[in-house]
A and B are shown apart, each in its own frame.
Chain A
Amino acid sequence: MGRTAFIACIFLFLAVVACKKIMPGAPELGEIVAGPIAGLSSAQMNKHLLGDAAFARVYTPEDGLGPIFIQSSCEGCHIGDGKGHPINVVTRFGKPGPSGFDYMSGEGGAQLQPRAIDGFQGEILPGSHMFSTDRLPPLVTGLGFLAAIHDSTILNLTDSLDADGDGIKGRVNFIEPEPYTIFNPDVHLVNTQGKYIGRFGKKAKEITLQDQILFALLEDIGLTTVQEVEDLYNPQTGTLATDNVADPEIGSATVDNLLFYLRTLKAPTRRNETDPDVILGEALFEQIGCVKCHIPTITTASSDIEVLSEVVIHPYTDLLLHDMGNVLDDGFPEGGAKGSQWRTPPLWGLGLAAESQGGNMYLLHHGQASDINAVMSYHLGGEATSAATEYFELSPLEKEQVIGFLMSL
């Protein structure tokens, strides 16, 4: 073989290996949490991608990060849009006061920002605190669907007086809106005290997704916005010691893109749903009463984003507060939610938790439960006692089937 032919063969070989077969393929749809809802228009997809970039952007001190903060990007806590890792727990603290709960704002409360940019000092938990609570960052996919559920749908699921006598007392967390809260007449109702139903956050403290975003930008990253123009500072080291970047540190377009991004992230895709054991597990999940709070099916209201409008979804939540008993009582009230009351977390995406948590599972609000059995143990003592007790009375095979079902979500 001549030299020229030899060289030609090498380049031909390289051309062959350049084919798609040696390029990494896309994961199966159900293997990853992140991704847009199918059916977005090209313009909507463009805005989604702008929001995706804003979500992934890492902020520096020059961009307005801090001066005190928890993380430097949204993605840093919500890795791959999935459930957060314990290295990113958020700590809140406070103590009972003479006129209600004291969120200790004069000492850096209610949320701890332990990190700081150069020249500043992060906060430390003040010695006088009575309660501190750790919160793991939640999965952020499917939030657009939850935002599109009408308040009346949530109200219809309430049973605050336990009229049916099943021991489950779902109630809404009525929240006083922020001055900038934007209401959606297709979704929101107002009560006689001018309060609205909270639905986002571990204790349903936030009424709208935008409120949640604005809170996280300020309290987690230290970024001021048009709505929240006052920068954070560490009162433990000096009042009004803020950074040197003009406020607002990010513009309304960025907030808008972030909001659109979170609204248009797909709901987690189910896996193995036709597996006979998964089907049996689903039936057992219903039989032992878990579905009284983890409502499998809800229909959204009409929405300005077509793919969110009047859609049947399977979030496995009622978005209501439930008393989970002393074991889960963190002593930290939010709005009308007491220390032991928690919003039913959506279970969709539960089976993908380990995919964003480094291969392990850190479940419940604080990440202290490493598997479903541990989660069920935490359910003993409150409104879920009956369901959890029945779970532990199942045979080992039946428990496996329930777990198999939950892992398929």
Chain B
Amino acid sequence: MAGNTLTRSDLSEAVYREIGLSRNESAEMVESILGQISSALVRGEHVKISSFGTFTVREKGARMGRNPKTGEEVPIEPRRVLVFRPSHIMKERVNGGTA
């Protein structure tokens, strides 16, 4: 495990290198991709990127929680959570496969 962290700038650098857009435009395209995915999720849509994975919105009902420090009961409001299911291809790649 190398333990490096990639950020937006690494992604836009890759677009700059591979596609040959300007650095500025590459950064804008990375931002647009993330923006489009976010907007779809906010609308409650699932986002499926084949060979990468699926972002799913799950509705969670209200429940009673507990403050672990004080032991006090606190109501947890119903909310939407985001779940990512990696594709088989990604799972295999992460386990050293080349698929």
Q: Do they bind each other?
A: no
Chain A residues with a Cβ under 8 A of chain B: none
